[in-house]
Chain A
């Protein structure tokens, strides 16, 4: 009996010894040593880069000669730059439309999926999700062929069913290019958001539906009064993701149209790239940095919006 008593108190005594001051110190040191590498990476790659972008945005530099300080004239030049103004408009427009469409329609589709379909459900979800796992570059390369005015299947399909007058130059006509970009982006993103909403739906308490049914709610009322409110965190997250993705849009558009035709589909992202890395004239690192700063600013707004909305949910 005595040795059991000794065995029981020994770990406790040992623990007390270990958890004393030297222990805290070890914890603190380990904590720092574990997190500092990541933090150092952050400082080098993100912190310094952001600062440099902001500093560069006040300069003019062609990457050959020295950089000259020009104050806010890059930003002032925005107003006279028709391409930039149009790019800003296109960015905001595309972001708004994509956010609305990709935050609502996938939820409705997810609700449809949530109806016990067995093997069909899994198969359909697999099929719908596939566009989301391939890269934007591949997506755009594929769709460039599909949307080709003379040989692509969209126009030939329209021709085959007799709707010849609906055939368009989907990527080369400035009136239609934005719709085409919307189509491609939605095709790519739909599956992902359906899956996210579907996962979120599984987390809604079943009893709420039964309670609503007892109160006499029909399907649509159940959706509006139970599903939507309970999915609020997911909705908010999807909304923010859509906003950020819209503001940052670059890959798909660059591969599809390079911002054409005649700058009709330029976004802030493509304009920045064009001005800095693909300029027919001399590269303008300073001006491009100013555009980058605008993109950053909009992203920060979107994140602040999410934080604010999150706070309200929690009160």
Chain B
């Protein structure tokens, strides 16, 4: 036995047959998973006629599909709409989850458990079950077809999960620290924002990544609550593109590439945080 002190199941040789077999499988999986993206980008760089008959690698490579897609689909304004909705919703969710998460983790007050259980039960509620009354509610307060209506719905429906997350991060903060702050005379709100908050930065990072991604990718609420095209966010726009440009694959591929580019760029650069955030979010269940 080799004397490795590493947390892995030990194999006698680095080149065992099993290892070769595993490597082949992983390679195939990785390539198969990534291939649709490769195809998509290549298609976006083609002339429309060479999509089906042309060679694998487009020759010549043309970039005109991108400006075409940008202009024809008004990509910029929809992108902006999504950005506005995501950032503002995120701000709201952060505020609610930090305050409520701290309150549930560290403070004692009446009805604490009842409120917590009720809040948590919302995580099991599917959007499909809420969409009809939410549509009617938003309509009745006059915020239908408004980005604000969508923002409110996102904050209301996605906060419970973030509250749950932040609570578990806050529970890791030692009570003595909070006691010390209390003895120095600071009130609860001050304690939270000045003393405790810096300690839960990983938690905040997790919430930001998870929620931004969820809001950016969300489709059902965005499609139902916003009707006019100029106010639409990105995902419903792509849905309509799928129908309208069903046969114009090069344009569609360019639009799709543009749609995923920001997320992919952020992801590749912040991989560690991404993966950590998602797994922590999932494991803290």
A158 within 8 A of B: no
A285 within 8 A of B: yes
B9 within 8 A of A: yes
Closest Cβ neighbor of B162 among chain A residues:
A38
* Binary contact track B26-47/A, C-beta < 8 Å → 1, others 0: 1101110110110110010000
Given contacts A114-B8, A115-B11, A131-B33, contact A39 B99 (CB under 8 A): no
B71 within 8 A of A: no
What separation, in Å, do the CA atoms of A272 and B135 have in the docked complex? Answer: 14
Chain A nearest CB: distance from B1 CB in Å?
A: 8
| Contact across chains for A34 and B99 when beta carbons are under 8 A apart | yes
| Contact across chains for A209 and B9 when beta carbons are under 8 A apart | yes
Main secondary structure of the interface of B (DSSP, over half): helix
Closest Cβ neighbor of B136 among chain A residues:
A52
| Contact across chains for A30 and B30 when beta carbons are under 8 A apart | no
Most buried by A among B39, B125, B159, B252: B125
| Contact across chains for A248 and B127 when beta carbons are under 8 A apart | yes
| Of B59-67, B198-206, B274-282, the one touching chain A | B274-282
| Contact across chains for A31 and B107 when beta carbons are under 8 A apart | yes
A64 within 8 A of B: no
B75 within 8 A of A: no
| Of A74-82, A95-103, A173-181, A294-302, the one touching chain B | A294-302
What B residues does A141 contact at CB under 8 A? 238-239, 241-242, 252, 256
* Binary contact track A137-171/B, C-beta < 8 Å → 1, others 0: 11011111110000101001000000000000000
Given contacts A38-B159, A141-B252, A142-B36, contact A129 B133 (CB under 8 A): no
Closest Cβ neighbor of A199 among chain B residues:
B279
Q: How large is the interface on B (under 10, 10 to 19, 20 to 34, 35 or more residues)?
A: 35 or more
Given contacts A18-B183, A128-B29, contact A219 B9 (CB under 8 A): yes
Given contacts A30-B103, A49-B130, contact A115 B9 (CB under 8 A): yes
A200 within 8 A of B: yes
Chain B nearest CB: distance from A44 CB in Å?
A: 7
What separation, in Å, do the CA atoms of A273 and B132 have in the docked complex? Answer: 9
| Contact across chains for B10 and A18 when beta carbons are under 8 A apart | no
Among B51, B52, B126, point to the contact of A296 (Cβ < 8 A). Answer: B126
| Contact across chains for A255 and B242 when beta carbons are under 8 A apart | yes
What A residues does B25 contact at CB under 8 A? 109, 112
| Contact across chains for B132 and A237 when beta carbons are under 8 A apart | no
Q: How many residues in A have their beta carbons less than 8 Å from beta carbons of B? A: 109
What separation, in Å, do the CA atoms of A285 and B260 have in the docked complex? Answer: 34
Given contacts A41-B155, A133-B267, contact A18 B185 (CB under 8 A): yes
A72 within 8 A of B: no
Number of residue pairs A-B, CB distance < 8 angstroms: 295
Chain B nearest CB: distance from A150 CB in Å?
A: 8
| Contact across chains for B119 and A133 when beta carbons are under 8 A apart | no
Among A49, A113, A200, point to the contact of B134 (Cβ < 8 A). Answer: A49
Given contacts A114-B9, A145-B252, contact A124 B129 (CB under 8 A): no
What separation, in Å, do the CA atoms of A151 and B252 have in the docked complex? Answer: 15
What separation, in Å, do the CA atoms of A237 and B30 have in the docked complex? Answer: 25
What B residues does A127 contact at CB under 8 A? 30-31, 33-34
Interface residues of A in 80-135 (CB under 8 A from B): 109, 112-117, 120, 122-131, 133-135
| Contact across chains for A219 and B18 when beta carbons are under 8 A apart | yes
Given contacts A48-B133, A295-B128, contact A115 B8 (CB under 8 A): yes
Among B126, B136, B152, B279, point to the contact of A244 (Cβ < 8 A). Answer: B126
| Contact across chains for A213 and B10 when beta carbons are under 8 A apart | yes
| Contact across chains for A19 and B107 when beta carbons are under 8 A apart | no
A266 within 8 A of B: no
What B residues does A129 contact at CB under 8 A? 267, 275
| Contact across chains for B6 and A143 when beta carbons are under 8 A apart | no
B50 within 8 A of A: no
A182 within 8 A of B: no
Closest Cβ neighbor of A42 among chain B residues:
B119
| Contact across chains for A196 and B282 when beta carbons are under 8 A apart | yes
Given contacts A153-B39, A277-B224, contact A30 B219 (CB under 8 A): no
Chosen A-B contacts, 27 in total, with CB atoms closer than 8 Å, are A11-B183, A27-B109, A28-B108, A30-B188, A34-B189, A35-B100, A39-B100, A39-B118, A46-B156, A49-B137, A50-B129, A53-B129, A109-B26, A122-B271, A123-B30, A124-B27, A127-B34, A130-B34, A135-B235, A145-B249, A145-B252, A151-B51, A195-B278, A248-B127, A251-B220, A255-B239, A303-B121
Contacts A45-B153, A140-B242, A156-B52 aside, 20 further interface pairs with beta carbons under 8 A come to A28-B109, A30-B109, A37-B100, A38-B100, A42-B159, A47-B118, A52-B133, A52-B137, A122-B271, A128-B33, A141-B239, A206-B8, A247-B126, A269-B128, A292-B132, A295-B126, A295-B129, A296-B126, A296-B129, A303-B124
The 4 closest A-B pairs by CB, nearest first: A31-B109, A45-B156, A30-B188, A135-B217
